[in-house]
Amino acid sequence: VRPMSKLATAWAGAATLAAPGLRLMLRLRLARGKELAGRLAERRGIDPSPRPSGRLLWLHAASVGETLSVLPVLTPLLSQASDLTVLFTTGTVTAAALLAQRLEPEHAARVLHRFVPLDVPRWAARFLDHWRPDAAAFLESELWPNLLAACHARGIPMMLLNARLSPRSFARWRHAPGLARAVLGGFDRVQARGEADAERLRMLGARQV
């Protein structure tokens, strides 16, 4: 297991301490219609439904734009791998609704939507220990240190798809080079949006870009 940087360790500790406040935040989001009643537990990695048998790919798209970009991949992916189930997580209700509307009916039983757990170590561990994905793919710039560290600790292969990193974000990450290496260095492959993004990701420690 790759050693955590001091900042990554601090992030994990801060997220653990913030967990009670995050529970309150989720209830406030529910009151504003930004979470779904009956599904708040998913944001803490809790799920009573069983893991399906066979191979499971965890695919995470933060919101509507990322969901739209990856939808065309689902049909050929599922057609080529008959034993594969896709666990499709999003962070927003609107993305969940879009997925339900756009998903091909014949694939609906093999694509399970859940809301991604917040980046608290215990919640991330609970989510991964329940679903036990065989691989994980994240869209664009979804870089949650505790979720990614938990995947890496369990030996789950990870890919960052259509990866992007703006000059502004690059400048911010350069102030935390150890955390950047810890986060980006865990990906087994990074498919960048373009060469400029690829170069910025390499400079921060991404491999196989």
Q: Say if CB 63 and CB 95 are below 8 A apart.
A: yes
Which residues carry out catalysis? 66
The pair of three-digit structure tokens given for residue 67, joined into one six-digit string: 């969901």
Q: How far apart are CA 30 and CA 43, in angstroms?
A: 12
Beta bridge partners of 138: 60, 160
Instruction: State the Cα–Cα distance between residues 119 and 115, nearest whole angstrom.
Output: 12
- Is the alpha carbon torsion for 193, 3, 13, 90 positive or negative? positive
C-beta of residue 146 within 8 angstroms of C-beta of residue 126: no
Task: Sort residue 87 into left (φ over 0), alpha (ψ -120 to 50) or beta.
Answer: beta
